[in-house]
Amino acid sequence: MDPLDLHLLSELEGGLPPVREPYEEIGRRLNLTGSEVLERIRKLQNAGIIRKFRARINQRRVGISANALVAWKHVDSLNGDMGSLLASYPCVTHCYERLPVPGRWEYTVYTVHHGYSRDAVLAEIGEIADHICAHEYVVLFSTEEFKRVPNVRVRENGSNTA
Amino acid sequence: MTGHPLPDETDLQILDALQDDIPLVPRPFEAIAQRLGIPEQVFLDRLERLLEEGIIKAISPILEARPMGLCASTLVALHVPDERVHETAAIINGYPGVSHNFRRDHYYALWFTISGKSEEDIQRVLAEILRRTGIPGRDALNLPTIRKLKIDVRFSFLNDEEQEDNYGPA
């Protein structure tokens, strides 16, 4: 990655403008042509620096207002790896394994769920729990959002609008 | 967050399509509009409105943590008395390594993530947060990431059948 790539990522982080030739427009700000911009984006994708390139949606604004983090206790009797199993459910948007705090917090697998209502989210979680016979888990619904920006950012806030 | 109309069917199609990778062609929105069977200009007008209304935050690359030098991350839970939640959250928000910070329905009321160059880097930030907020260590859970198994925020807006699909494993 050269300094120009970093500039490009910084411009792209602000978002593609809603115009016919958005890469051309981004290029103008960096003295690059549209095809040079596209070439650099392809390279950054191939190098594994850009994982995805797509719209970030404000889920609350489309009515997806229930958001739950679920902390699961590991089920030893599971045939296979619990993290991968939980991650395989399409409704799970995030799945992480984390260290426990022995004696205080024994949960090690975490999933994130989104839905139009708490009931819908609880139903979905209950169904997964039944499927995999995991009955020790805590559902943590969010009640207030203080910060939500991409975890990897070139600019401090991740965009001009965050 | 109230007072805005919810997106209509065409908006939802656009939102759905824009969650796939944006085509790397000179006129990417023309390509997507064609796929949806709507004129490019209609697509662009709607896209502009969805951005203005904040329904779409941005169309932007999602970067991988490691190549950008972020090699460690953790989730922290804090027990915070109700009346101190907002001031505590404001202090936590001030750290650039913090990307997500939510209040949740639990004894541990604040849940936030920290990313950093190394475990030590994260420990240092967490220690500073605890010192500045006055939250004792016994009221904090530090839950370092061992494995990221899935990071895939994609919302399906198209129809109920696809929502149903969400119930079984892939």
Q: Which residues, in sequence order, are bridge partners of residue A73?
A: A107
Would you kindly state where each structural domain of chain B is located, as residue ranges?
9-61, 66-144
CA distance B84 to B78: 11
Res. B157: pLDDT tops 70: yes
User: What chain B residue is nearest to A38 in terms of C-alpha separation?
Assistant: B24
Any CB–CB contact under 8 A between B101 and chain A?
A: yes
CA distance A88 to A86: 5
Residue B4: per-residue pLDDT: 61
Q: Which residue has the higher pLDDT, B75 or B167?
A: B75
- Closest to A16 (Cβ–Cβ): which among B22, B85, B98? B22
- Specify the DSSP element, H or E, that contains B11: helix B9-17
- What pTM was estimated for this model as a whole? 0.88
Res. B1: pLDDT tops 80: no
H-type helices in A1-157, by residue range? 3-13, 22-30, 34-46, 82-87, 118-132
pLDDT digits (tens, 9 = 90+) for B6-46: 788 999 999 999 999 999 999 999 999 999 999 999 999 99
pLDDT digits (tens, 9 = 90+) for B130-154: 999 999 999 999 999 999 999 877 7
Report the pLDDT averaged over residues A116-120: 96
Q: Under a CB-based contact definition with an 8 Å cutoff, are residues A58 and B56 in contact?
A: yes
CA distance A120 to A126: 10
CATH of the structural domain B66-144, one choice from 3.40.50.300, 3.40.50.1970, 3.30.70.3460, 3.40.190.10: 3.30.70.3460
Q: Under a CB-based contact definition with an 8 Å cutoff, are residues B155 and B19 in contact?
A: yes
Residue B165: band (very low, low, confident or very high) from pLDDT cuts 50, 70, 90: very low
Q: Answer positive or negative: Cα dihedral of B46, B52, B57, B63.
A: positive
The CATH code of the domain at B9-61 is 1.10.10.2890
Q: Where are the beta strands (DSSP E) in chain B?
A: 56-63, 72-78, 98-104, 110-116, 140-151
Query: In percent, how much of chain A has pLDDT > 70?
Result: 96
pLDDT digits (tens, 9 = 90+) for A2-56: 999 999 999 999 999 999 999 999 999 999 999 999 999 999 999 999 999 999 9
Residue A157: per-residue pLDDT: 58
Res. B170: pLDDT tops 60: no
User: What chain A residue is nearest to B7 in terms of C-alpha separation?
Assistant: A62
Report chain B's mean pLDDT, rounded to a whole number: 90
- Cβ–Cβ gap A159/B25 under 8 Å: no
Residue A17: per-residue pLDDT: 98
Residue B125: per-residue pLDDT: 97
Q: Under a CB-based contact definition with an 8 Å cutoff, are residues A53 and B62 in contact?
A: yes
- Closest to B141 (Cβ–Cβ): which among A42, A51, A104? A104
Q: Answer positive or negative: Cα dihedral of A119, B12, A146, B113.
A: positive
Cα first-last separation, chain A: 25
- Cβ–Cβ gap A15/B59 under 8 Å: yes
Q: Which residues, in sequence order, are bridge partners of residue A56?
A: B58
pLDDT digits (tens, 9 = 90+) for B103-116: 999 999 999 999 99
Report chain A's mean pLDDT, rounded to a whole number: 92
Helix, strand and coil percent figures for chain A, each rounded to 5: 35, 25, 35
CA distance B141 to B73: 14
Residues 107-146 of B with CB under 8 A from A: 111-113, 115, 141-146
